[in-house]
Amino acid sequence: MEMKPRRLSIIRPDDWHLHVRDGEGMAAVLPFSARRFGRAGIMPNLKPPVTTVAQALAYRECILRVLPAGTDFDPRMFIYLTDNTSVEEVARAAQEDLVLGFKLYPAGATTNSDAGVTDIDKLHDRFEAMERSEVPLCVHGEVTDLAVDIFDRERVFIERVLVPIRRGHPALKIVLEHVTTKDGVDYVNYDRSMGSQTAATITAHHLLLNRNAIFQGGVRPHHYCLPVLKRETHRQALVAAVASGSPGFFLGTDSAPHAKHTKEAACGCAGCFTAHAGIELYAEVFAEMNALDKLEAFASFTGADFYGLPRNMETITLVEKPWLVPQSYEYGEGNTVVPLRAGEQILWQLEPSVE
């Protein structure tokens, strides 16, 4: 007798770390996220970056204009923190419900981060303003010191940057974005045990892959992302963190589309495109850990609670039914984007909604 596939219905999840770019590329990738998620935290590292509340709201309007008809997807905005961000801009952000917080990119740390922060010590008045107004600070947790091994940059960032920020600003809400190491997991757990409002997002690709994936059968540019994939021991620490059900960790895909030719290049761009299976890939991880009962809180509750937003009301249903991922998707006129698992199977799929 053939067994029926497992089905799991959960409150519609949110993606608290998403890149949708702009222009034709945005219109191509946005429907993937809109189908799966109720809300998303939109990253501001465009060219030029989104550095003010006014620019963030204008970017949001651009997103809304290209959403598929009938969708109620709700983009929430982050502002790019720079050396020149003013205390007054922090105050404006605090008054705008559609702005989630500020994103700290160390200068040169990742895609389009050239305008990032160069000296943390000069920003303490901005951190104080965020602390007073309960505006979250979200950080790309890597140092850019070339003397530091790329696989150690998260650990060193925690030691050199994050610990001093927390020491000086004990009430500041902090998110360690796309955490990749046991060091990061341990830091979040310790900080929360001390009463701090600290959390971290975790991507599906860092849960599923270790650094060997970059070199299987040759260099695999579509597995190259920043922060870079780490050792298996670190991957296991991330998996244990999400399987534990801790409210310190929530979903942030960091889906980061780049045109195929910019990834498969002499100096390829960093980023994994995962929006095509933005919740299904997580279901694989939780199923493997016999922790499907923890997926809903991780994907649908914890992030909303951290940002002080109401939880979504509608539901989605996932079915344990393998499907074959296309080799690529369209990404604007004449371009394609290669998704994670291109040409391979994903074991769970999103059940079509009933209209």
Percent of the chain with pLDDT over 70: 97
- Domains with residue ranges and CATH for the chain: 13-315 (3.20.20.140)
Sorting pLDDT into bands at 50, 70 and 90, what band is 355?
very low
Which has the closest alpha carbon to 134: 324, 349, 307, 353? 307
Torsion of CA 294, 300, 301, 307, to 10 degrees: 140
Q: Give the pLDDT of residue 1.
A: 56
pLDDT tens string 248-288: 999 999 999 999 999 999 999 999 999 999 999 999 999 99
User: What is the 8-class DSSP label of residue 184?
Assistant: H
Helix (H) or strand (E) holding 201: strand 198-202
Q: How far apart are alpha carbons 150 and 230 in whole angstroms?
A: 10
Sorting pLDDT into bands at 50, 70 and 90, what band is 117?
confident
Residue 58 has pLDDT above 60, yes or no: yes
Considering only residues 117 and 187, tell me which one the structure prediction assigns the higher pLDDT.
187
Cα-based distances in Å from 290 to 2, 61, 141, 155, 323: 22, 41, 30, 29, 21
Catalytic residue among 15, 74, 191, 254: 254
What residues form DSSP beta bridges with 273? 339
Q: Give the pLDDT of residue 60.
A: 98
Sorting pLDDT into bands at 50, 70 and 90, what band is 339?
very high
pLDDT tens string 127-139: 999 999 999 999 9
> Does 254 qualify as catalytic in the annotation?
yes
The arithmetic mean of pLDDT across residues 21-49, rounded, is 96
Percent of the chain with pLDDT over 90: 92
Residue 112 has pLDDT above 60, yes or no: no
SS3 67: coil
Q: Give the length of the chain.
A: 355
Residue 15 has pLDDT above 60, yes or no: yes
The arithmetic mean of pLDDT across residues 32-60, rounded, is 97
Residue 104 has pLDDT above 70, yes or no: yes
Q: How far apart are alpha carbons 33 and 39 in whole angstroms?
A: 9
Helix (H) or strand (E) holding 100: strand 99-104
- In the sheet that holds 7-11, the strands lie side by side as 7-11, 315-319, 349-350
